[in-house]
Amino acid sequence: MGKNENYVKDITNIEEDFAQWYTDIVIKAELADYSEVKGFIAYRPYGYALWENIQKYVDAEFKKRGVENIALPMLMPEHYLTTEKEHVEGFAPEVAWVTFGGGKELEERLYIRPTSEPMFCRMYARWVKSWRDLPMKYNQWCNVLRWEKETRPILRSREFFWQEGHTMHATEQEARELTLEMLNVYADTIENFLAIPVTKGQKTNLEKFAGAVDTYTVETLMHDGKALQAGTSHYLGQNFTKPFGVKFQNKEGKEEYAYNTSWGVSTRLIGAIIMAHGDNRGLKLPPKVAPIQAVIVPIQMQKDGVLEKCQEVFNNLKETFRMKLDDRDQYSPGYKFNDWEMRGIPVRIEMGPRDIENNKCIVVRRDTAEKIEVSLDELNEKLAWLMEDIQQNMYNMCLENMKNKTSEAHNMEEFEKNLNENQGYIKAMWCGDDACEEHIHDVTGAKSRCIPFQEEKIDDKCVVCGKPAKHMVMWGRQY
Amino acid sequence: MGKNENYVKDITNIEEDFAQWYTDIVIKAELADYSEVKGFIAYRPYGYALWENIQKYVDAEFKKRGVENIALPMLMPEHYLTTEKEHVEGFAPEVAWVTFGGGKELEERLYIRPTSEPMFCRMYARWVKSWRDLPMKYNQWCNVLRWEKETRPILRSREFFWQEGHTMHATEQEARELTLEMLNVYADTIENFLAIPVTKGQKTNLEKFAGAVDTYTVETLMHDGKALQAGTSHYLGQNFTKPFGVKFQNKEGKEEYAYNTSWGVSTRLIGAIIMAHGDNRGLKLPPKVAPIQAVIVPIQMQKDGVLEKCQEVFNNLKETFRMKLDDRDQYSPGYKFNDWEMRGIPVRIEMGPRDIENNKCIVVRRDTAEKIEVSLDELNEKLAWLMEDIQQNMYNMCLENMKNKTSEAHNMEEFEKNLNENQGYIKAMWCGDDACEEHIHDVTGAKSRCIPFQEEKIDDKCVVCGKPAKHMVMWGRQY
């Protein structure tokens, strides 16, 4: 079949209109649906199961590192928002205000959390007393709300789900180490669990979190060459602990403000899975995160013994793999093949009367469309191998896409030309001035993604002003 | 030690002021803390871990029954609230209104969900098409908000956490069966996981959910003899599916409104654990739900080899039990004993130099205060037995309390006398009239808890009006 052929009816061609292709996948694979409240979506079971799997993985990684879960109020009083100068500038325009409760107008308006630094700090101020209490490493899984103007299902909804970790430390060094430790948890999750390569680095001054001293990021590249910030970890220093009063008595008996971090990943990761891996057949899920890892489609289901044998194989496999047996009688096998491909199930198992007679089945990989004949005696073993291999191959395909879409620019002409031809990441040197960064955005629409930890020196001079360069920066248009 | 002695400083005596005792436990055992927003609390790690354990247990039971998790918007437009007549009367007075978002006044006000029947129905209306799609059994774990006037930490907060299951069925019978199936999940959870006996029954007309056809409940009795409604399951019929338009094509090809249920348990269950089991030493946790099942307290920790041996025992046990080793050097063993008793850890293990020499340790039960000498070789086995035995014994103690505090009343004098002397449940016959039920509440402060599934006929006549009785009802003052 040709490269541009649509395998599934009604899904927009991925190369022609990526944005519409994305929306088609979200709706038709039944990940989520629009609600009647603008910018708010409903997660359907298949989409929410992805989030549950991500939560389970990440939460276990947190707990290994001594992070404990708590839950704080979703509403905060107006004066919390206005206490930290940069924070209010960053978030005030996009909060939602509760003004009435229990039939009465409130004396002080409450805002629904867009993020909870102020609330965490006010609670920590009650809980942290001595250096012996530190570090305190708390996280919450919750909903937050940001009144975005442009919304897109899952990727940018007004309400979204995330975890926000907030920690308190007795020293700057320990807080900075924790900031990077959590960034590494995110990098590991995205690379090894979601099969998407990341670039780790530091955000520039213009792109850092409103209120942070330093922001670190894991950046990913989507199929269309646009970048997606997949997770961030902030060293907040004492920027919040001073105005919100988080003090402790240090070993010398003196009062000191605590050193603070925060870090988060959200349901945007589901958007990343869709856009990094999907193709013209539809969604393509890495086995580790897939809610269904393999589906059995019976062929000539009405024939004696077929469904029974399929059921037997299903029962054998379901302890080891997340399995589905598609015994719907209103659809043909062909319809089912398309349907499950569109939903991104990593492996399809086809079993008809002749296969059963020969004690075998046909296994079809979602990533390569390869068909393999497998003896039923070896199916369990083969599936285990396939899950590993598909996971790895999907990572490799993503990495290949990223490499193909990454280029260097030594001047602005080259920058624009590469970006317009190839989208993707542009590597270019930068003098460190906000003005040059703004210039790039004004001219090309690209923003700095990060100063990668693995810096390369590709030139001496800033790509904009020609002054001596301080850093190599990855640039790109973004989601 | 005398019955009324306070084992832990600063905790109010449970028999003298149960309400203050409760608040002391919540704060001092570090389950939760007040925030600066009235009626909103912060769950601390120990309290939230209880909720996580409950979630894990209940969620697995749901999934066994084919229930799938989804996530719906927390905000709903005003006209959702006003569509179902009883629902709006029940909930309108206690919702919080969002009136501004993104810097602008909203055209239609949005309310934060107090419960999500309208949103579930509007989404189901998009998803349900044919009888083949049914049943659909969806649940969400989320925060909800009810602007209560009187609040009490965990037990009655304005924001609380819960799960709300909402299902759609092709027939009334199937929906009614599901309603009772989920009630049984709750009964099982509360009895077998939380060690609290329940009474299953049906709510009277006055006490049923705003919008339900029938409401079923699992009722529990607290240490002080007041009742706590621990979970409810509603058969909603077509009360919501008609106004919200949830239609399906039935097997005969005709359009029909779906039959609907909803059911929920919340963080109130944590309140039930505290108030059903606690005593003057503090919190008392059933082993199955306890975040820490056993704590090791080293004696003469500074002595050679003590801490090492404790660490070794801890390492051996931690794969099987949720363990804590208390190696804090700023506290004495006596302080630690009190501290962990107050926090309700089911088992304490004491190990000093002499114990270690004799290859043994002292094991102390939280439920009975019994001290047992155990050989280190048998510790694992002994702990496993203890966890079972403590769980069962705590259930039995609760059941005993419930039996002691349940009495019959054949006239109103007896009703009042029993209730005032004994608090607890009153069993009394009822004619079925709202007016008699209201009379009981006006005179005694008690409400009907439920018409138990296991009805007894203790008299012929209504305890209020003397007319022929229809049902035996359990009455009680409530949380």
Q: Which pTM was predicted?
A: 0.96
**Last residue of a domain, which of A244, A277, A310?**
A277
Label residue B363 by pLDDT band (50, 70, 90): very high
Specify whether B90 is located in the same domain as B186: yes
* Cβ-proximal residues to A167 (8 Å cutoff; 6+ apart), any chain: A67, A135, A136, A137, A138, A175, A178, A260, A261, A262
* Residue A202 token pair: 């530091």
Q: How far is CA A16 from the centre of its chain?
A: 24
* Cβ-proximal residues to A344 (8 Å cutoff; 6+ apart), any chain: A29, A277, A278, A282, A283, A284, A285, A290, A366
- Supply the ipTM of this predicted assembly: 0.96
Residue A10 in domain:
no
Q: Which residues of A touch B143 (CB under 8 A)?
A: 74, 142-143
- Give the model's pLDDT for residue A5: 43
Specify whether A146 is located in the same domain as A256: yes
Specify whether B336 is located in the same domain as B423: no
Specify whether A177 is located in the same domain as A65: yes
The pLDDT of B256-263, averaged and rounded, is: 98
Would you call B84 helix, strand, or coil by DSSP? Answer: coil
Distance CA A5, CA A68 (A): 49
Local structure of residue B205 (DSSP, 8 states): G
Specify whether B246 is located in the same domain as B339: no
Specify whether B84 is located in the same domain as B227: yes
The pLDDT of B275-286, averaged and rounded, is: 97
Percent above pLDDT 70 for chain B: 98
Residue B123 to residue A33, Cβ atoms within 8 A: yes
Residue B73 to residue A126, Cβ atoms within 8 A: no
Q: Which domain holds residue B386?
A: 294-397
The model's pLDDT over B197-237, given as tens digits with 9 standing for 90+, comes to 999 999 999 999 999 999 999 999 999 999 999 999 999 99
Label residue B400 by pLDDT band (50, 70, 90): very high
Residue B84 in domain:
yes
The pLDDT of B336-364, averaged and rounded, is: 97
The pLDDT of B305-311, averaged and rounded, is: 97
CATH of residue A49: 3.30.930.10
Over 60: is that where the pLDDT of B278 sits? yes
Q: Which residues of A touch B93 (CB under 8 A)?
A: 102-103
Question: CB-based contact (8 Å) between A42 and chain B?
Answer: yes
The pLDDT of B415-441, averaged and rounded, is: 96
Question: CB-based contact (8 Å) between A161 and chain B?
Answer: yes
- Give the model's pLDDT for residue A455: 85
- Give the model's pLDDT for residue A87: 82
CATH of residue B415: 3.30.110.30
- Give the model's pLDDT for residue B3: 41
Instruction: Tell me whether strands B68-69 and B136-145 are parallel, antiparallel or unpaired.
Output: parallel
- Give the model's pLDDT for residue A9: 65
Of A48, A94, A101, the CB nearest to B70: A48
Label residue B122 by pLDDT band (50, 70, 90): very high
Residue B71 to residue A100, Cβ atoms within 8 A: no
- Give the model's pLDDT for residue A10: 83
Over 60: is that where the pLDDT of B6 sits? no
**Last residue of a domain, which of A392, A414, A448?**
A392
Number of domains in chain B: 3
Q: Minimal Cα distance from A49: which residue of B?
A: B69
Residue B286 in domain:
no
Which of B74, B136, B164, B331 to mutate against chain A (most A CBs within 10 Å)?
B74
- Give the model's pLDDT for residue B263: 98
Q: How many CB pairs under 8 A join A and B?
A: 148
- Give the model's pLDDT for residue B49: 98
List, as ranges, residues 65-84 from A with C-beta within 8 Å of B: 68-77
Over 50: is that where the pLDDT of B270 sits? yes
Distance CA A385, CA A369 (A): 16
CATH of residue A381: 3.40.50.800
Specify whether A313 is located in the same domain as A373: yes
Specify whether A202 is located in the same domain as A330: no
Q: What is the 3-state secondary structure (H, E, C) of chain A?
A: CCCCCCCCCCCCCCCCCHHHHHHHHHHHCCCEEECCCCCCEEECHHHHHHHHHHHHHHHHHHHHCCCEECECCCEEEHHHHCCCHHHHHHHHHHCEEEEEECCEEEEEEEEECCCCHHHHHHHHHHHCCEHHHCCEEEEEEEEEECCCCCCECCCECCEEEEEEEEEEECCHHHHHHHHHHHHHHHHHHHHHHCCCCCEEEECCHHHCCCCCCEEEEEEEECCCCCEEEEEEEEEEECCCHHHHCCEEECCCCCEEECEEEEEEEECHHHHHHHHHHCECCECCCCCCCCCCCEEEEECCCCCCCHHHHHHHHHHHHCCCCCEEECCCCCCCHHHHHHHHHHCCCCEEEEECHHHHHCCEEEEEECCCCCEEEEEHHHHHHHHHHHHHHHHHHHHHHHHHHHHHCEEECCCHHHHHHHHHHHCCEEEEEECCCHHHHHHHHHHHCCEEEEEECCCCCCCCECCCCCCECCEEEEEECEC
Specify whether A244 is located in the same domain as A222: yes
Element (H, E) at B179: helix B172-188
The model's pLDDT over B455-469, given as tens digits with 9 standing for 90+, comes to 899 999 999 999 999
CA-based nearest distance B43→chain A, Å: 5
Q: Which residues of chain A have pLDDT under 50?
A: 1-6
